Chains A and B, each alone.
Chain A
Amino acid sequence: MIRLEKRPQPSRAFSLATPVLAVIATMFFGGLLFMALGKEPLLAIKTIFWEPLFGEFSFFYRPQLMIKGAPLVLIAIGLSLGFKAGIWNIGAEGQYIMGALFGAGVGLAFYPAEGHYIFPLMVLAGAFGGWVWAMIPALLKVKFGTNEILVSLMLVYVAEQFLASMSLGLLKNPEGFGFPGSRNLQQYESAFNADLIEGSGMHWGVVAAMIAVIFAYVLLSKHRLGFAIRVTGEAPRAAKFSGVNPTRLVLFCLGTSGLLAGLAGMFEVSGPAGQVTIDFNVGYGFTAIIVAFLGRLHPIGILLAGLLMALTYIGGDIAQSQLGLPAAAIQVFQGMLLFFLLALDMFTNYRLRFGRTEVA
């Protein structure tokens, strides 16, 4: 007879070991999945995790790690603040889209003027777009008690339709021969979020992600608001007695996560993606949920988890072109990771006890 016994304190060792164990378990079961798809499992795992870092073309893939990791980290940092306090923003994908649309919209409004003021304005607009989109579920939650999970998620579908309408209408490139999609911001110098050091993948989004990590770290460990977030998540009643204002907390957590997701979208559209298109968003907003949990909702953890998840994206692309591994297999792989993480997390809070249960 095995039973679970709640630990008086969550185990620190298991808290750190869980993500590592989850990655190992995912590699194992992912390997089985790849085998079922008729691929060499070890080769596939090696292609995903080794090739981008140390393979023949790693000089090309390493910068990609920054490019793919930055939006994931930026979004996940924001989400983690809310998740810690039990405020669930799962519509980051929508906020990401709105940030990109606002940012690109401001940039395109200035076209073809050149000036140093344009890019900072785009950054502000992007942050504002994401923030506004997240304030909808936030305000509805504090005013009417509406469930923020459902509202933020519904707004993803609304944002996707809005994106389609924009890339076919208002923001469409007038010189684009009728193709959907905006002008390419990479060819518009004042609006282009270029690499800060040529070929390094270090664009302004990476800098923003770094700042967000430091900001979140300081907030959570040193600031009163960070304390309010942690105590609300761990003991809601204690939070009430210690004078935490839940309304402000909801507005802050959802607002910040929206703002960061908007920034991520803006940096993406003005840099690596270049233009607003119908399918510009690739699901970073949802993958960031996995990143936040894999990083144990801790800023440093999220940084590492973001890089790891970026690795699976890049490695997945390589495995797709070299081994013909379907793109969806990587999606399954990422989903598996979250499963193992959640399941193994049991050991952080509970201890396994073997032996017969006694009747008192």
Chain B
Amino acid sequence: MDLSAINPVLFVAGFLVAATPLIFAAIGELVVEKSGTLNLGVEGMMITGAICGFATAVETGSPILGFAAAALGGALLSLLFAFLTQITLANQVASGLALTLFGLGLSALLGQSYVGIKPPRLNDINFGPLADIPVIGPILLTHDIILYLGIALVAATWAVLKFTRAGLILRAVGESHDAAHALGYKVVRIRTLAIMFGGACAGIGGAYISLIRVPQWTEGMTAGVGWIALALVVFASWKPWRLLLGAYLFGGITQLQLNLQGAGVAIPVEYLAMSPYLITIIVLVILSRDKSAAPACLGRTFHASS
């Protein structure tokens, strides 16, 4: 075992990358849940985004177009969930599971001819001489634009939810759909838009895995990141900045166990690979006592009966 093989600067830079798919998927789901809908299909939308983005990037040669296609793919898939839960008023848990099962199958089908291909690279942003600053430069200033976009998205979501009228309406719909409906807000429309936003974000998160983090396509490659994102929203008590913190925590753990695998620690690889999931459970246990932060209408079906 040689722990000195782990370079702290590369480690921190690596966990920022590892956290980015989680940030996208979780911030999207946070908005969805704030609107009062529980979409358990994050994993399915992520993997669909991963293959849509990968295929588009390979065919067009442009990773940015790939990310756009991933967002589109995720949003389109989430429309299925919106249809089931908002129009046909189906159970949200069951519909979310259906979305995940369907997404896993669909992505495997779409991805058949893309196994073993290398996608075009998305270049890091050139910060010029700033990137040469010791420690800070290599950690913070050697990334691609999507990573910074993720952080910006967290900030924007926070600001919109806290300071704007649109955010207020979204929260009102999530806290009491009957009251919001009585005030004349279109509950179904607002929730559908939130669900599509969540789908687009999950799609980008998935594409970040297949285009940048790994980068290649394999079936089921998101390996539960979508589910960890769902746990992360609970962890963050539906607060954007805490979500960012949580994503870095999980990114750090993922990166650490990968580094430990590489350093040849005496713990078998399988047990190291379990750790992110086990830690998710432990964190859920610690934080699940306080449920007061959850939107009051979360998971409840809205039917304008009057």
List the interface of chain A (C-beta within 8 A of B).
Answer: 4-6, 88, 90, 140, 144-147, 149-151, 153-155, 157-158, 161-162, 164-165, 168-169, 286, 289-290, 293, 326-336, 338-339, 342-346, 349-350
Residues of chain A within 8 A of B280, CB atoms compared:
150, 154
Residues of chain B within 8 A of A150, CB atoms compared:
227, 230-231, 234, 280-281, 284
Q: Is the CB of B277 within 8 A of A88?
A: no
Also in contact, A161 and B273, with CB within 8 A (given A155-B281, A328-B112, A343-B90): yes
Q: How far is the CA of A10 from the CA of B211 in the complex (A)?
A: 48
Residues of chain A within 8 A of B84, CB atoms compared:
339, 342-343
Q: Is the CB of A157 within 8 A of B88?
A: no
Residues of chain B within 8 A of A155, CB atoms compared:
277, 281
Segment from B3-11, B24-32, B63-71, B103-111 that makes contact with A: B103-111
Q: How large is the interface on B (under 10, 10 to 19, 20 to 34, 35 or more residues)?
A: 35 or more
Q: Is the CB of A4 within 8 A of B224?
A: no
Q: Is the CB of A334 within 8 A of B105?
A: yes
Q: Is the CB of B288 within 8 A of A146?
A: yes
**Segment 255-302 of B: residues with Cβ below 8 Å from A:** 268, 270-271, 273-274, 277-278, 280-281, 284-285, 288-289, 291
Chain A residue at minimal CB-CB distance from B291: A145
Number of CB contacts from chain A to chain B under 8 A? 134
B76 interface residue per 8 A CB criterion: no
Residues of chain B within 8 A of A169, CB atoms compared:
268
> Nearest Cβ distance between residue A15 and chain B, in whole angstroms?
14
Also in contact, A339 and B281, with CB within 8 A (given A145-B289, A149-B93, A328-B109): no
Q: Is the CB of A326 within 8 A of B109?
A: yes
Residues of chain A within 8 A of B268, CB atoms compared:
165, 169
> Nearest Cβ distance between residue A317 and chain B, in whole angstroms?
15
Chain A residue at minimal CB-CB distance from B278: A158
List the interface of chain B (C-beta within 8 A of A).
Answer: 40, 80, 83-84, 88-91, 93-95, 97-98, 101-106, 108-109, 112, 219, 223-224, 227-228, 230-231, 234, 268, 270-271, 273-274, 277-278, 280-281, 284-285, 288-289, 291, 303, 305
Contact partner of A157 among B109, B224, B284, CB < 8 A?
A: B224
Chain B residue at minimal CB-CB distance from A163: B270
Also in contact, A161 and B105, with CB within 8 A (given A147-B234, A154-B227): no
Q: Is the CB of B90 within 8 A of A145?
A: no
Other A-B pairs, 7, CB within 8 Å; known A290-B98, A338-B102, A342-B95: A145-B291, A154-B280, A286-B101, A326-B108, A335-B104, A335-B105, A342-B84
Q: How far is the CA of A328 from the CA of B109 in the complex (A)?
A: 5
Q: Is the CB of B89 within 8 A of A350?
A: yes
Q: Is the CB of B271 within 8 A of A338?
A: no
Residues of chain B within 8 A of A153, CB atoms compared:
224, 227
Q: Is the CB of B288 within 8 A of A342?
A: no
Q: Is the CB of A338 within 8 A of B101?
A: yes
> Nearest Cβ distance between residue A168 and chain B, in whole angstroms?
8
> Nearest Cβ distance between residue A231 and chain B, in whole angstroms?
18
User: Which of B80, B94, B108, B219 neighbours the largest number of chain A CB atoms within 10 Å of its CB?
Assistant: B94
User: Which of B90, B270, B273 neighbours the largest number of chain A CB atoms within 10 Å of its CB?
Assistant: B270
Q: Is the CB of A151 within 8 A of B88?
A: no
